[in-house]
């Protein structure tokens, strides 16, 4: 069966993030981020590893550009380390840090690769965490806008696609409530303030970027995880409704409707931040595009012992690592591979949120990759990409305003609290030797891009 073509001007990219690939945490005057601190705090990283080395892209960005060309990518999404540019999060610019990103953008443009730049991918400057609690403090939203202006004034003449935040949900919920990500807090007051202040920072930065570079395009990347009731019991159906608002609609409604959804917003009234008069107007200014990070659906059930929210997400999936359970394949992250709800999510954005210009800014899967005779055979990742990219192509045919797809990730990198134990790359990286090997999935992507279609895996 011939696979559908993507539109001729479609962007095919891969995504990374500064803390996960750069290394060189103190080089050339870089300031500490909360992830530098967290990854060196005993017990926080499951494997006991840290990201001081990782993919060494700060020392050698050229190596990976050659790989992007070999994969046929015409776009690349990366993030800027805030504390590499502003070591204290504000004030004095570290010119060497800014120069690195200027050089990276120039190298990309020389190769005809369009940069999509994420300004915040969770690595808050430690100085701002100490000064005002990071995004749990309202002032950080304004420092973020100042930082965005510094970067866009330096790069906005040649880099035109800007993503303010990566996954504000993950940063506030797992960083300030559940404690799995930096700064590792368990504080509902901080969580909801970090949620609101990140969106405020997004809106303030959007204004500054458009002022500094009027022809730049500005968007926000949200992780969208559709939540389904674990059972057909009314209490679980109600719990899944609240969970969907916690994970998805708080952010979607904030930026597209200028309000926060009930019953979620009412349920947390005891811990809510003060929303100032113009906040929602600033937050819901029109964006130029929406970035969608999609991995899997989840299931929720009512939980009397979870204060305020009353739901819990079913954790059993985590035990299905890389197994087939009830006919479904799982990744080694315990994420179900199920493309139909990816399609449904895109259609929901079309039907309920005005069909904004969209990019898939992350989609990918981790599996146990091994090197055999200098090759990495990863058929499960190819099958994953084939099914999800086909769902995206179908959504485009059904009217979704989708213009690009960034696979997570270009190469195996530091997977936050999982250390190096989760490999998502199209390119295998031996982090001890820095050897790179393009996996079979990378070869498949190159064929797909060349063919501007979706060749059957294995062709
Ligand atoms: C995220 C982050 C990425 C992760 C990737 C794999 O979506 O959690 O943006 O940095 O590494 O998603 O989990």
**Is 36 a pocket residue for ligand 1 (Cβ < 6 Å)?**
no
Res. 189 pLDDT band, cuts 50 70 90: very high
Report the pLDDT value the prediction gives residue 1, as an integer from 0 to 100.
Answer: 37
Report the pLDDT value the prediction gives residue 2, as an integer from 0 to 100.
Answer: 44
Q: Which atom of ligand 1 is nearest to the CA of 170?
A: 8
pLDDT greater than 50 at residue 3: no
Closest residue to atom 11 of ligand 1, CA basis: 415
Report the pLDDT value the prediction gives residue 241, as an integer from 0 to 100.
Answer: 98
Report the pLDDT value the prediction gives residue 323, as an integer from 0 to 100.
Answer: 85
pLDDT greater than 50 at residue 61: yes
Q: Which atom of ligand 1 is nearest to the CA of 366?
A: 6
Catalytic annotation present for 362: yes
**Is 415 a pocket residue for ligand 1 (Cβ < 6 Å)?**
yes
Catalogue all structural domains in the chain, each as residue range(s) with its CATH number: 11-450 (3.20.20.80)
Report the pLDDT value the prediction gives residue 319, as an integer from 0 to 100.
Answer: 76
What would the pLDDT profile of 211-225 be if each residue is shown by its tens digit?
999 999 999 999 999
Mean pLDDT of 309-319: 83
What would the pLDDT profile of 253-269 be if each residue is shown by its tens digit?
999 999 999 999 999 99
pLDDT greater than 90 at residue 303: yes
C-alpha 170 to ligand 1 mean position (Å):
9
Catalytic annotation present for 167: yes
Q: How many other CB atoms are found less than 10 A from the CB of residue 123? A: 27
pLDDT above 70 covers a percentage of the chain that reads 97
Strands (E), 307-384: 311-313, 324-325, 328-329, 358-362
**Is 123 a pocket residue for ligand 1 (Cβ < 6 Å)?**
no
How many angstroms separate the CA atoms of 22 and 58, rounded? 5
**Is 177 a pocket residue for ligand 1 (Cβ < 6 Å)?**
no
Q: Which atom of ligand 1 is nearest to the CA of 293?
A: 7
Residue 381 and residue 427 in contact, taking contact as beta carbons nearer than 8 Å: no
Report the pLDDT value the prediction gives residue 334, as an integer from 0 to 100.
Answer: 86
**Is 362 a pocket residue for ligand 1 (Cβ < 6 Å)?**
yes
C-alpha 103 to ligand 1 mean position (Å):
25
Q: How many other CB atoms are found less than 10 A from the CB of residue 112? A: 10
Q: Which atom of ligand 1 is nearest to the CA of 295?
A: 12
Q: Which atom of ligand 1 is nearest to the CA of 17?
A: 10
pLDDT greater than 90 at residue 326: no
What angle do the packed helices 62-71 and 95-110 form, to 10 degrees?
Answer: 30
Res. 455 pLDDT band, cuts 50 70 90: very low
**Is 424 a pocket residue for ligand 1 (Cβ < 6 Å)?**
yes
Mean pLDDT over each residue of the chain, to the nearest integer: 95
C-alpha 335 to ligand 1 mean position (Å):
12
**Is 408 a pocket residue for ligand 1 (Cβ < 6 Å)?**
yes
How many angstroms separate the CA atoms of 276 and 259, rounded? 12
Mean pLDDT of 35-57: 97
pLDDT greater than 80 at residue 406: yes
Res. 97 pLDDT band, cuts 50 70 90: very high
Joined together, the tokens standing for residue 379 give 């058929």
Model pTM?
0.96
How many angstroms separate the CA atoms of 403 and 288, rounded? 12
C-alpha 169 to ligand 1 mean position (Å):
12
Report the pLDDT value the prediction gives residue 457, as an integer from 0 to 100.
Answer: 56
pLDDT greater than 80 at residue 316: no
Mutational pocket test of ligand 1: of 35, 225, 293, 367, the residue with most ligand atoms within 8 Å of the beta carbon:
293
How many angstroms separate the CA atoms of 386 and 383, rounded? 5
Report the pLDDT value the prediction gives residue 4, as an integer from 0 to 100.
Answer: 42
pLDDT greater than 80 at residue 281: yes
| Rg of the chain in Å (alpha carbons) | 21
Report the pLDDT value the prediction gives residue 458, as an integer from 0 to 100.
Answer: 54
Joined together, the tokens standing for residue 408 give 């997570």
pLDDT above 90 covers a percentage of the chain that reads 91
C-alpha 332 to ligand 1 mean position (Å):
14
Res. 452 pLDDT band, cuts 50 70 90: confident
pLDDT greater than 70 at residue 322: yes
**Is 293 a pocket residue for ligand 1 (Cβ < 6 Å)?**
yes
How many angstroms separate the CA atoms of 123 and 208, rounded? 21
Catalytic residue (one of 167, 336, 386, 415): 167
Joined together, the tokens standing for residue 356 give 């904004």
Joined together, the tokens standing for residue 344 give 């449904």
Joined together, the tokens standing for residue 285 give 């200014």
Higher-confidence position of 321 and 66: 66
C-alpha 167 to ligand 1 mean position (Å):
9
Mean pLDDT of 341-348: 98
Report the pLDDT value the prediction gives residue 139, as an integer from 0 to 100.
Answer: 98
Catalytic residue (one of 149, 170, 362, 386): 362
351 closest CA partner among 394, 401, 392, 404: 401
**Is 17 a pocket residue for ligand 1 (Cβ < 6 Å)?**
yes
């Amino acid at each position: 069966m011939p696979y559908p073509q993507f539109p001729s001007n479609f962007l095919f990219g891969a995504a990374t993030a500064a803390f996960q690939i750069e290394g060189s945490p103190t080089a050339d005057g870089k300031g500490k981020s909360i992830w530098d601190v967290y990854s060196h705090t005993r017990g926080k990283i499951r494997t006991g590893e840290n990201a001081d080395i990782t993919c060494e892209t700060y020392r050698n960005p050229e190596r990976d550009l050659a790989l992007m060309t070999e994969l046929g990518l015409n776009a690349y999404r990366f993030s800027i380390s805030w504390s590499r540019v502003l070591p204290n999060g504000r004030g004095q610019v570290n010119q060497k840090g800014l120069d690195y990103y200027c050089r990276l953008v120039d190298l990309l443009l020389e190769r005809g690769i369009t940069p999509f730049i994420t300004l915040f991918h969770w690595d808050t400057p430690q100085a701002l965490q100490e000064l005002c609690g990071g995004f749990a403090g309202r002032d950080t939203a304004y420092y973020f806008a100042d930082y965005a202006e510094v970067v866009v004034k330096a790069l906005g003449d040649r880099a035109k696609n800007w993503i303010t935040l990566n996954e504000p949900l993950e940063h506030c919920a797992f960083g300030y409530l559940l404690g799995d990500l930096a700064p590792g807090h368990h504080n509902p007051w901080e969580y909801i303030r970090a949620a609101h202040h990140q969106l405020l920072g997004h809106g303030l930065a959007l204004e500054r970027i458009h002022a500094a570079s009027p022809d730049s395009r500005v968007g926000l990347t949200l992780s969208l995880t559709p939540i389904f009731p674990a059972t057909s019991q009314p209490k679980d159906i109600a719990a899944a409704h609240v969970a969907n608002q916690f994970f998805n609609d708080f952010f979607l409604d904030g930026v597209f409707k200028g309000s926060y959804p009930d019953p979620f917003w009412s349920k947390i009234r005891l811990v809510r931040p003060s929303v100032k008069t113009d906040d929602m107007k600033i937050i819901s200014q029109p964006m130029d595009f929406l970035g969608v990070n999609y991995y899997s659906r989840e299931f929720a059930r009512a939980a009397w012992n979870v204060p305020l929210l009353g739901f819990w997400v079913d954790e059993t999936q985590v035990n299905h690592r890389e197994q087939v359970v009830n006919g479904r394949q799982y990744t080694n992250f315990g994420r179900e591979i199920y493309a139909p709800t990816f399609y449904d999510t895109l259609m929901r954005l079309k039907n309920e949120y005005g069909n904004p210009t969209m990019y898939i800014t992350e989609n990918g899967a981790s599996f146990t990759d091994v090197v055999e005779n200098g090759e990495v055979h990863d058929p499960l990742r190819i099958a994953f990409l084939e099914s999800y990219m086909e769902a995206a192509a179908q959504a485009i045919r059904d009217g979704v305003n989708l213009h690009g797809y960034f696979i997570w990730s270009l190469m195996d990198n530091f997977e936050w609290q999982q250390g190096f134990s989760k490999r998502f790359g199209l390119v295998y990286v031996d982090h001890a030797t820095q050897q790179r090997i393009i996996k079979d999935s990378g070869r498949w992507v190159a064929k797909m891009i060349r063919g501007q279609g979706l060749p059957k895996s294995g062709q």
